[in-house]
Structure 1
């Protein structure tokens, strides 16, 4: 976690994410890359001109840099190396390109449920960033005076394709000193006996040299509720999941389960792409 990207719209939710990013950066000797995206309506763009020459773009870029200066003066950022950038891409493209350009290790984003993340990442950008980002995305829901992760729930179907994201989750857990609680949710439509579920989970985890974990099977009406209810029952500090493009968490989480968890879970959520 040497390079942490924090997309910001200068909202309270975005600052909650920045405060967590600052704690992580201080603890692990990292730097913070602040990114503000200025979205210019396409009907205002002259195909022969550059975005940078648009009067609206110039105004909002200058305004953003003033807001950056005020933000960087906050006491919780003292002693940190802060990089700031204003971009004129679509939100998803701006975040994606920043991650590539600066070799970002972690994206930290603020959210207050649907009105938070979806307000900042309009429409399909939510899905694109959270569910397809090649860089792990940590979504923060509330202000954390001290961001500590002792219990980390990793939900999956534990098929082979989830091994790569789980390896990333292990690295994250080791850095934070957290215990991983492996979770398989049984639902009426996708039921697996305890014997088969335990066999699959044991075979999955034995390929990793990681001892600080537990295996758990939880029955619920659907996967989203199962993940949230189990996490609540153990007072989890963080929920983790692997994302698989449009298919959610591997073949196990279909549709928009990952997005739903990000929007509805009260706890921080981190996603790792398969």
Structure 2
């Protein structure tokens, strides 16, 4: 792991993500890229070609650059190589474009989640990045004073399509020398016998150099609730999950378990796109 991207809107949620990113960077001697997307008011954005708008745009940009420099000077970032980036773009599109243009190993984002009508129609920028990013995304939901990953929950159906992201998850697990808890959530609509589930997982992990791990089947009414309840029972430090990155009507009707977890779980969530 060499480069960690941390988007910030200067909120407390972003600050919590920066603190976690700093701890990961120190442990692995990584560079941090702090990026702020300067979303201009609609009327100003429409008038960008006009000369009168340029001074005001530059003022906003300088203010954002000054704020990033102040963040860079915080004590917990001392000794870490930090690069500041300000871009004139929408939050989600700007972050996604930057990811495509640069080789990032991890994205760390803060989130306050979404609920009700906002969750259905708007969604958060964090969950949009989770849906589309081919780089692993670590979502921080609450302030963590001493970020340690000792106990990871990885929930899956252990199908063949997740083998590539599963290797990335193993690399992350080994990086932190964490214990890995594999779990298959069985619901009324996706019931499997214990023997059948064990065979699926045994065959799946046979292709990997596995660290210390355990496997359990957990029964619940739905997958999201099962993952959250199981992670709480195991006192997990991190929930890991693979996402399909659905978009458009397919995403609207099928939904996304990873986005539900980003919105509703209180523990950090690490997502890998299939």
Q: Would you say same fold, with TM above 0.5? A: yes
2:141: which partner in 1?
Answer: 141
2:2 pairs with 1:15: no
- Runs of 5+ in structure 1 lacking a partner? 248-253
2:256: which partner in 1?
Answer: 256
Cα distance, 1:134 vs structure 2? 0.5
> How is 1:109-124 mapped onto 2 (pairs within 5 angstroms)?
109-114=109-114, 123=123
Preserved contact between residue 187 and residue 223 of structure 2 (Cα < 8 Å): yes
* Partner Cα separation in structure 2 for residue 54 and residue 48 of structure 1: 7
* Partner Cα separation in structure 1 for residue 63 and residue 41 of structure 2: 18
- Name the Cα RMSD after superposition: 2.3
Cα distance, 1:112 vs structure 2? 2.7
Preserved contact between residue 140 and residue 267 of structure 1 (Cα < 8 Å): yes
User: Per-residue displacement from partner, 1:118-162 (whole Å, max 9, x unpaired)?
Assistant: 89xx64644420122110000011222221111101111110001
> How is 1:59-70 mapped onto 2 (pairs within 5 angstroms)?
59-70=59-70
2:157 pairs with 1:157: yes
Cα distance, 1:180 vs structure 2? 1.3
> How is 1:19-30 mapped onto 2 (pairs within 5 angstroms)?
19-30=19-30
1:203: which partner in 2?
Answer: 203
Preserved contact between residue 38 and residue 57 of structure 1 (Cα < 8 Å): no
* Partner Cα separation in structure 2 for residue 226 and residue 70 of structure 1: 42
Please report the TM-score for the alignment, with normalisation by the length of structure 2: 0.89
- The 3 A distance-change label for structure 1 pair 123 and 41 is farther
Preserved contact between residue 239 and residue 268 of structure 1 (Cα < 8 Å): yes
Give the secondary-structure state (helix, strand or coil) at the position aligned to 1:114: coil
Preserved contact between residue 38 and residue 88 of structure 1 (Cα < 8 Å): yes
Q: Which stretch has the larger CA shift, 187-196 or 229-238?
A: 187-196
> How is 1:120-135 mapped onto 2 (pairs within 5 angstroms)?
123=123, 125-135=125-135
Give the secondary-structure state (helix, strand or coil) at the position aligned to 2:64: helix
* Partner Cα separation in structure 2 for residue 246 and residue 58 of structure 1: 37
Aligned residues between the structures:
264
Give the secondary-structure state (helix, strand or coil) at the position aligned to 2:226: helix
> How is 1:195-274 mapped onto 2 (pairs within 5 angstroms)?
195-246=195-246, 254-274=254-274
Preserved contact between residue 7 and residue 109 of structure 2 (Cα < 8 Å): yes
2:93: which partner in 1?
Answer: 93
2:80: which partner in 1?
Answer: 80
2:251: which partner in 1?
Answer: none
Please report the TM-score for the alignment, with normalisation by the length of structure 1: 0.89
Cα distance, 1:50 vs structure 2? 8.9
Cα distance, 1:48 vs structure 2? 7.9
- Runs of 5+ in structure 2 lacking a partner? 248-253
